């Protein structure tokens, strides 16, 4: 068999050339297996007759499937009931809800985050300080998970053919005056709000993930109102890749720098600054921007791939 690229394999699978479901050796289609279960041994066919064996195997499979279908819901309900009773029993053993002196709430780490977080990271929002400074590796992995998921969706759904039904819907939507006026009023406000959430992630509730999702929703709304071609002028497949990869690369390099300096006791150029200012808290603001870019692009990318088949 000649070597194929991944896309060719995928295409072959899509067209039904490859079949993963052909039963291999050891399936209960052989008469010996079927007979050993002792079920309806009298209509056992002669071993040489292929068609009869296949018919028998199908009947056996159907009977098994019917039995399975009857037992399965009962078993599911039983198992879930047992699990939930067990978990509720565990809940009664937990410390009371809202108490301060539980092991999870009174540990040394939490006290360190709350009492020294402001002077060490400069972030007024302690959660932002935790996820983008103390535990920045975690957030880096998170961004890469999102990026990998976007890549997987891109591989699975990228197609060059136009989808006719979405074209028809778009023609109707593009003539809609109400939609256009609402879009013209709402989209700038949503974008502005998203940018505010990203920029003030270290000063209050917010951050790259939530702000990026808001910006992504503004892009989706824009694409719905004015058609994906208008978005594609600014954000096509190439610029999408470049933007996301640049943001991830910037995140990795910035965190490399700060880990290198921190481990060797060097002075960094990103100090905590004056807490409460916009340009403070060291690397948290640029990292929030990078994460916000990745999230916004990924959200819009998911939408565009699922509806249009391309970014």
Q: Which of 36, 37, 84, 268 binds other proteins (CB under 8 A)?
A: 84
- Spatial separation of the C-alpha atoms in residues 192 and 281, rounded to whole Å: 22
To the nearest whole angstrom, how small is the minimum distance from the Cβ of residue 257 to other proteins?
A: 22
Q: For residues 99 and 236, which CB has a smaller minimum distance to other proteins in the complex?
A: 99
From 91-99, 183-191, 224-232, 277-285, span contacting other proteins (CB under 8 A): 91-99
> Where in 187-246 is the site for other proteins (CB under 8 A)?
204-205, 207, 209
Q: For residues 139 and 225, which CB has a smaller minimum distance to other proteins in the complex?
A: 139
To the nearest whole angstrom, how small is the minimum distance from the Cβ of residue 197 to other proteins?
A: 14
In sequence order, the 6+-apart residues with CB closer than 8 A to the CB of 105 are 99
Task: Give the position of tokens 């009773």.
Answer: 85
**DSSP H/E element including 64:** helix 50-93
- Spatial separation of the C-alpha atoms in residues 306 and 311, rounded to whole Å: 9
From 33-41, 82-90, 221-229, 282-290, span contacting other proteins (CB under 8 A): 82-90
CA distances in angstroms from 7 to 154, 209, 238, listed in the order given? 12, 32, 19
- Spatial separation of the C-alpha atoms in residues 286 and 279, rounded to whole Å: 10
Quick one: which of 116, 141, 140, 142 has its CA closest to 129? 116
Q: For residues 123 and 225, which CB has a smaller minimum distance to other proteins in the complex?
A: 123
User: Residues in the chain, how many?
Assistant: 311
* HSE of 140, CA atoms in CB hemisphere, 13 A: 16
- Taking CB under 8 A as the rule, does residue 185 contact other proteins? no
Structure-token pair, residue 198? 């990203």
Binding site for other proteins (CB under 8 A): 14, 16, 19, 21-23, 54, 58, 73, 76-77, 80-81, 83-84, 87-88, 91-92, 94, 96-100, 102, 104-105, 109-111, 113-119, 124-127, 130-131, 135, 138-139, 142, 145-146, 148-150, 152-153, 156-157, 204-205, 207, 209, 275, 302, 305-306
């Amino acid at each position: 068999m000649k070597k194929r690229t991944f896309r060719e394999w995928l295409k072959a699978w899509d067209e039904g050339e490859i079949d993963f479901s052909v039963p291999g050796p050891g399936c209960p289609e052989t008469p010996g297996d079927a007979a050993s279960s002792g079920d309806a041994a009298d209509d056992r066919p002669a071993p040489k007759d292929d068609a009869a064996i296949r018919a028998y195997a199908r009947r056996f499979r159907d009977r098994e499937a019917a039995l399975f279908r009857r037992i399965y819901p009962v078993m599911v309900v039983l198992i879930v009931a047992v699990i939930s009773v067990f978990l509720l029993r565990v809940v009664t053993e937990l410390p009371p809800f809202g108490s301060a002196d539980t092991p999870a709430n009174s540990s040394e780490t939490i006290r360190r985050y709350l009492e020294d977080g402001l002077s060490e990271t400069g972030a007024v929002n302690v959660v932002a300080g935790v996820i983008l400074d103390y535990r920045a590796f975690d957030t880096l992995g998170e961004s890469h998970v999102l990026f990998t998921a976007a890549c997987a969706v891109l591989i699975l759904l990228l197609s060059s053919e136009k989808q006719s039904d979405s074209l028809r819907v778009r023609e109707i939507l593009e003539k809609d005056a109400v939609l256009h006026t609402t879009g013209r009023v709402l989209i700038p406000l949503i974008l502005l709000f998203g940018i505010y959430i990203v920029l003030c992630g270290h000063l209050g509730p917010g951050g790259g993930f939530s702000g990026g999702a808001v910006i992504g929703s503004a892009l989706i709304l824009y694409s719905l109102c004015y058609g994906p071609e208008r978005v594609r002028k600014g954000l096509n497949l190439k610029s999408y890749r470049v933007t996301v990869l640049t943001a991830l690369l910037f995140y990795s390099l910035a965190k490399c720098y700060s880990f290198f300096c921190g481990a060797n006791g060097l002075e960094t150029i990103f100090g905590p600054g004056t807490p409460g200012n916009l340009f403070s808290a060291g690397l948290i603001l640029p990292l929030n921007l990078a994460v916000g870019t990745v999230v916004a692009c990924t959200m819009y990318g998911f939408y565009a791939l699922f509806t249009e088949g391309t970014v």
